[in-house]
Structure 1
Amino acid sequence: MRLRIHHNTVYRYQTPARRIVQAMRLWPAPVAGQQVLDWQVMVGGRGLRPRSRDGFGNAEATYSADGPLDELCVGVVGQVITEDRHGVIQGSEELLDPLFYCAPSVLTQPDQALRELAERCRRHRGLEQAHQLMRVVREAVEFKTEETHSETDASEALAHGYGVCQDHAHVMIACARILQRPARYVSGYLWIDGDSVSPASHAWSELYIDDLGWVGFDPANRICPTESYVRVAVGRDARDAAPIRGLRQGGTVESLEVNVSVAQVSADPARTQSQPVQQ
């Protein structure tokens, strides 16, 4: 499948910011089943290229600007060819031993409710355990927008019983680690077709399975990632894999506008299917 992605983010400040520093993980890495044809990132009207890789292997660049700044615009446009590999990740550049991803992180700290949820899957093994865990997490956490936020952790999401894709991923990761299975967070994009429940900008989890390696699981949609998914960055939780994280001096009362569009590109441009999303 050939997918075209447009992702625009605008930060606005009620009073101008004196200085802005942003760490950006906006570049998808080529892996088996994901070929990046073209990818451009524009910040403040200028092109930005990755300068390094972070500790998780994600392509990363740091952008800084001195103000006064009333707004900052970040734009992404690119095309990727994908294929369905049933969630199995091959050809990725791995800098860390999978066991690193067994330790809890800030947004995946276990509590008693998470332990009880995980225990429902302990009798299963390997890939079967991971699929069962995906099912029980989705049953326990209803998909519901605008009720959680970027700093909602796994225990809070499970206690609420609802959340978005980020929350489903955090709950599954926390439970997998309780079962001593390496698990990590993935940020990316999803082309929506039919009854998928999540917006184009998406998140899911990857669990390490013996004899297979890293395998993706999307509890929000109850499936392993298909050719409709574009994988961008990984980390212990959403903080590590966030597309943009930064600091500023000044710039009180920040507002954020995000627009994402993922389109399936066909040979006939008139037949291109797209799903625009405003967040």
Structure 2
Amino acid sequence: MKLKITHETSYSYDTPVAALVQSLRLTPSVYEGQRVGEWRISVTGGQRGTAFRDGAGDWIESWTVRGPVDEVTVTITGVIETRDTAGVLRGHRETVNPMVYLRPTPATRADAALRELAAAVQGDDALDLAHKLAAAVNEAIEYVPGVTEAATSAAEALALGQGVCQDHAHALIACARERGLPARYVSGYLHSSDDGKPHEAAHAWTEIHVGPLGWVGFDAANACCPDDRYVRLGSGLDAQDAAPVRGMAFGQGVEALAVRVHVEEVPQGQSQSQGQQQAEQASQSQGQRQQ
């Protein structure tokens, strides 16, 4: 599948700030499931600094904006070809030991309810257990936008019984780690939801390390593994650690944030003969109308 992505993140301040420094994890991952055709990152008034690939295999770029400035927009436009790998992260180069992802964070720390949920699931092997944990989280947390916030923890979302993809990812991470499976948060994009409706926002899911097979993705929010509708950007211990945009502003201005993400499929190109045939038919039709 070929996907065109437009992602704008705008920051505005009621009082101009002196400068901004940002770290961007907004370049698609390199692995067998996706190939970037073209990708452009721009920051209004920004100067690109250091860029590198970190130990988790994610591409990081630093940007600086010198003020005074009261509005900054980070814009991503690109086209990427994706392929369904059944959720398996094949060909992704990284040097971080998977055991690192057993470490809990405030967002993913298991409470009694999460430990009980994790303990109630039984699997024939690590992969089967991961699938069943994802199904259990899907059943325990209903997808309802607007009831949780960025700082909501997995335990809080489970207690509510409602949340969004970030909450499903955090809860599954907590359950997997509780069962001894390394798990991490993945940020990216989704072309459509499971029912085929357009998905107009960035997305998040979980990767669980299942032994020799390595990292496998699980989208508990949609009860599936990532396929060719998904675009992977980067990963981390939780949503904050995997955030596509991180940084700080120097000044006293109060910040307001607006995000717009659009993902659409690029139609397959027509063959030259088909294009010529349609052009000839259009020309003949136009001539008939003129007569």
Structure-1-length-normalised TM-score: 0.91
Contact 1:169 1:185 in 2 (8 A): yes
1:241 alignment partner, SS class: coil
Q: Quick one: distance in 2 between partners of 1:235 and 1:33?
A: 19
Which sits farther off after the overlay, 58-67 or 260-269?
A: 260-269
Partner of 2:250: 249
Partner of 1:65: 65
1:21 alignment partner, SS class: strand
The alpha-carbon deviation at position 240 of structure 1 amounts to 1.4
Q: Quick one: distance in 2 between partners of 1:111 and 1:40?
A: 42
The alpha-carbon deviation at position 66 of structure 1 amounts to 2.5
Partner of 1:240: 241
1:240 alignment partner, SS class: coil
Query: What is the identity, as a one-letter code, of the residue corresponding to 1:249?
Result: F
Contact 2:113 2:155 in 1 (8 A): yes
Partner of 1:215: 216
2:264 alignment partner, SS class: strand
Gaps of 5+ in 2: 271-291
Partner of 2:226: 225
Q: Quick one: distance in 1 between partners of 2:192 and 2:50?
A: 28
Contact 1:192 1:200 in 2 (8 A): no
Partner of 2:276: none
The alpha-carbon deviation at position 37 of structure 1 amounts to 0.9
Q: Quick one: distance in 2 between partners of 1:67 and 1:159?
A: 44
Partner of 2:175: 175
The alpha-carbon deviation at position 46 of structure 1 amounts to 5.6
Partner of 1:261: 262
Q: Quick one: distance in 2 between partners of 1:267 and 1:49?
A: 36
1:180 alignment partner, SS class: coil
2:175 alignment partner, SS class: helix
Q: Residues 200 and 210 from structure 1, CA distance in 2 versus in 1: closer, same or farther, beyond 3 angstroms?
A: same
1:198-257 CA-to-partner distances (Å, cap 9, x unmatched) read: 643100000011231110000010000010000000111111110101111224221111
Structure 1 residue runs of 4 or more that deviate by more than 6 Å after TM superposition = none
Contact 1:50 1:59 in 2 (8 A): no
Q: Which entry has the higher C-alpha Rg, 1 or 2? A: 2
Partner of 2:275: none
The alpha-carbon deviation at position 95 of structure 1 amounts to 1.4
Q: Residues 193 and 204 from structure 1, CA distance in 2 versus in 1: closer, same or farther, beyond 3 angstroms?
A: closer
Partner of 1:201: 202
Partner of 2:287: none
Q: Quick one: distance in 2 between partners of 1:75 and 1:268?
A: 26
Q: Residues 232 and 158 from structure 1, CA distance in 2 versus in 1: closer, same or farther, beyond 3 angstroms?
A: same
Q: Quick one: distance in 1 between partners of 2:220 and 2:177?
A: 16
1:45-72 CA-to-partner distances (Å, cap 9, x unmatched) read: 5685861123422111111223211101
Q: Quick one: distance in 2 between partners of 1:124 and 1:116?
A: 19
1:94-144 CA-to-partner distances (Å, cap 9, x unmatched) read: 111111111112311111111001011145422111111111101111111
Q: Quick one: distance in 2 between partners of 1:178 and 1:115?
A: 7
Q: Residues 50 and 36 from structure 1, CA distance in 2 versus in 1: closer, same or farther, beyond 3 angstroms?
A: farther
The alpha-carbon deviation at position 193 of structure 1 amounts to 5.3
2:212 alignment partner, SS class: coil
Which sits farther off after the overlay, 66-75 or 38-47?
A: 38-47
Q: Quick one: distance in 2 between partners of 1:107 and 1:32?
A: 30
The alpha-carbon deviation at position 194 of structure 1 amounts to 6.0
Q: Quick one: distance in 2 between partners of 1:110 and 1:7?
A: 33
Q: Quick one: distance in 2 between partners of 1:90 and 1:55?
A: 16
Contact 2:154 2:167 in 1 (8 A): yes
Which sits farther off after the overlay, 157-166 or 50-59?
A: 50-59
Q: Quick one: distance in 1 between partners of 2:49 and 2:196?
A: 32
2:60 alignment partner, SS class: strand
Identity %: 45
Partner of 2:128: 128
Q: Residues 101 and 196 from structure 1, CA distance in 2 versus in 1: closer, same or farther, beyond 3 angstroms?
A: farther
1:211 alignment partner, SS class: helix
